[in-house]
Amino acid sequence: MRSPLALSLRLLKADGYVSGIVERRIGPPGETVLSDLFGVFDLVAIRRNTPGVLAVQTTSGSNVASRATKVLSSDEAKLWLSCENRIELHGWRKRKRVRGGRARLWVARVVMLTLNGSGEPVMLEERDLTPAGKEFGNESP
C-alpha cells in the first residue's frame, strides 16, 4: 500500500504545488512517535499566484472523521486560517475505476476548511481526486 503521505505529495505536485513534509519522528528507534506541525499538519505546500500557504492533514479514508474533528478543534488551525492560509484534509481509499470492474484506483476525499463568520473552522467543500489531480469519475480510462 502506498502511504497517504506519498499519495498527497503526488496529488499536490500534479496540481502545481511545491510541498514539504512537516511531520517528524521523535524518539529512539523502536519507540518513535510521529509529531505533526503544530500537532495538526503533515504537509505544507505553496503554488505560484496562490496566496498563503496550504497545510494538509493526510490520512486513510476510514479516519477522515476523526482527523476532521482534530483539525476543527485545534486552536492552531484557527490561527493558521486567520493568517489567510488554507487547510485541506486528504482521506485516501481505493475505489473501483469503473462500476462492475476489477481495477481499483486510489482516490482522495479532499475537504477544504475555512473560517465561518464567528471565526470557527468549518468544512467548506469536498471533492474526490485521483493522485494525478483529476476529479474521480471524470478521468479517461
- Over the stretch 88-122, which tens digit does the pLDDT of each residue have? 999 999 988 777 778 888 999 999 999 888 888 88
pLDDT at 83 over 80: yes
Quickly state the pLDDT bin for 141 (edges 50, 70, 90).
very low
pLDDT for res 1: 56
Cβ neighbours for 28, distance < 8 A, ≥ 6 positions apart:
none
| Mean pLDDT confidence for 30-59 | 93
**CATH code for the structural domain at 4-21+31-129:** 3.40.1350
C-alpha angle with apex 92: 91 to 96, nearest 5 degrees?
A: 130
Grid cell listed for 24: 517528524
CA angle centred on 135, ends 46 and 122, rounded to 5°: 60
- pLDDT category at 136 given cuts 50, 70, 90 is low
Query: Taking the model in full, what pTM does it have?
Result: 0.85
- Out of 2-6, 16-20, 47-51, 128-132, pick the least confident: 128-132
pLDDT reading at 137 higher than 60: no
3-class DSSP string for the chain: CCCHHHHHHHHHHHCCCEEEECCEEECCCCCCEEECECCCECEEEECCCCCCCEEEEEEEHHHHHHHHHHHHCCHHHHHHHHCCCEEEEEEEEEEECCCCCCCEEEEEEEEEEEECCCCCEEEEEEEEECCCCCECCCCCC
Residue 29 is predicted with a pLDDT of 87
Task: Report domain extents, the chain.
Answer: 4-21+31-129
> Where is pLDDT greater, at 75 or 138?
75
Contact in structure between 85 and 45 (CB atoms under 8 Å) = no
Say what the pLDDT of residue 140 is: 46
pLDDT at 48 over 90: yes
